[in-house]
């Protein structure tokens, strides 16, 4: 079993509902346990145009390979209606494998750690919320100019309110 971290984002349709739906589906992946989920965050699009994004990060424990997990993530994106008409297009759902244990993977279809994660507040702030040992202060300071707001915390639908390690977040 390996610890993995996945970033979630959406900026089309009811983005918050889509991110919550994806979290629920991640908890149902084969050979995988949902360990923790950040609050939901609202952020500006980065290197893109369109509405604000709703973002979160989850921690998983999985027996799936990195490529197997990526395949499951892409399947969930497809179920959510994800299309890729052009690079950085607005999206119904974006799931990125940020970290897979301590592995470093470089292949045509997968780069781990995610190559741009340290440049994005919408990844680092939610990741720091659930895995502070994975983010250092200098990394957070480097992205402090990017607009990001944590949304009001509420128990995630279908999950008990077990505190900050429980899946949380809702639009007020």
Q: Residue 129's domain is classified under what CATH number?
A: 3.30.70.560
Tell me, yes or no, whether 60 lies in a domain.
Answer: yes
Residue 74 has pLDDT above 60, yes or no: yes
Q: Taking phi first (over 0 means left), then psi (-120 to 50 degrees means alpha), and beta for anything else, what does residue 74 get?
A: alpha
pLDDT in tens, 24-35: 999 999 999 999
Structure-model confidence comparison of residues 145 and 90, the more confident one? 145
pLDDT, one tens digit per residue, over 144-153 is 999 999 996 6
- The rounded distance, in Å, linking the Cα atoms of 57 and 38 is 5
Residues contacting 99, CB < 8 A, separation 6+: 3, 4, 5, 112, 113, 114, 134
The set of catalytic residues is 82, 91, 94, 96
Tell me the per-residue pLDDT of 114-133, one tens digit each, with 9 for 90 and over: 989 999 999 999 999 999 99
Residue 93 lies in a domain: yes
> Which domain covers residue 29, as residue numbers?
2-150
* Within-domain flag for 123: yes
8 A C-beta contact, residue 36 and residue 131 = yes
Confidence of residue 82 (pLDDT cuts 50, 70, 90): confident
In a domain, 169, yes or no: no
Check pLDDT > 70 for residue 72.
yes
| Residue 54, beta-bridge partner list | 10, 42
DSSP 63: -
d(CA 146, CA 144): 5
135 versus 84: the higher-pLDDT residue is: 135
159 band by pLDDT with thresholds 50, 70 and 90: very low
Take residue 125 and report the two structure tokens written for it: 């702030």
Total domains in the fold of the chain: 1
Query: Which pLDDT score, from 0 to 100, does residue 119 have?
Result: 94
Banded pLDDT at 165 (limits 50, 70, 90): very low
Q: Using the structure block, give the residue that is written with the tokens 């919550």.
A: 20
């Amino acid at each position: 079993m390996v610890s993995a971290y996945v970033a979630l984002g959406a900026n089309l349709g009811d983005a918050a509902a889509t991110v919550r739906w994806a979290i629920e589906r991640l908890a149902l992946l084969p050979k995988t346990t949902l360990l923790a989920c950040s609050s939901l965050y609202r952020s500006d699009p980065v290197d893109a145009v369109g509405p604000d994004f709703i973002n979160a990060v989850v921690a998983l424990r999985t027996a799936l390979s990195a490529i197997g997990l990526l395949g499951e993530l892409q399947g969930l994106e497809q179920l959510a209606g994800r299309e890729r008409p052009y690079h950085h297009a607005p999206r119904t759902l974006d799931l990125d494998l940020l970290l897979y244990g301590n592995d470093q993977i470089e292949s045509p279809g997968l780069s781990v750690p995610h190559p741009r994660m340290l440049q994005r507040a919408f990844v680092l702030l939610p990741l720091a919320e659930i895995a502070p040992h994975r983010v250092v202060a200098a990394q957070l300071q480097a992205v402090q100019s990017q607009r990001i707001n944590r949304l009001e915390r509420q128990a995630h639908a279908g999950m008990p309110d077990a505190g900050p390690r429980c899946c949380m977040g809702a639009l007020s």
